[in-house]
Amino acid sequence: MRTLTPSRRTVVAAALGLVASLSLGGCSQGAGAPPADVGCLLAQFHGELVAENDRPVVRTLGDNWEAFGHAGTVPLDWPDGWTIRPTDGGQLEVLDGNGSVRVRTGTRIVLLHSGDPALPVFNRDGEFQVCAADPYAP
């Protein structure tokens, strides 16, 4: 069996550390929330995005809504810079601040809240304050 000298042990340890760092960095880039979602709480609020009076609202699904005393249809307060636009098919699209379509009416979605204690989950108008929105992928 070969014995590593102190200088070889240092080289091997450094190489293993570099491989581990690169692996973790690659995993953290490929998985998880996009950078715009970094400040969001991980608790998920599920629902179906529907159009009501020319604005997207969520038809609630799951227990998180009931824990806050909201069930049925809930209006949404989108993040600053997000916009709504109609599509040719009569649906609505929600675009983030970069102009990327995040969600569309007629689909199941997952909403996240910021978790900031200074920002309640529902504003005084009863709107869920969205931090992030993505299509639901079972």
- At residue 69, the pLDDT reads 86
pLDDT recorded at residue 11: 47
Task: Tell me the DSSP string of 45-59.
Answer: EEEEEEEETTEEEEE
Specify the pTM: 0.70
pLDDT reported for residue 119: 84
Hunting for tokens 């293993």 — which residue is that? Answer: 16
Angle ∠(28,30,35) on CA atoms, nearest 5: 75
pLDDT of residue 6: 58
Handedness of CA 57, 63, 65, 66 (dihedral sign): positive
Which has the closest alpha carbon to 101: 51, 55, 57, 135? 135
- Walk along the chain (138 residues) and give the pLDDT tens digit of each residue: 556 565 655 544 444 443 444 444 443 334 444 445 667 988 899 999 999 999 999 999 988 898 888 889 999 999 999 999 999 888 999 999 999 999 999 999 999 999 888 888 999 999 999 999 999 987
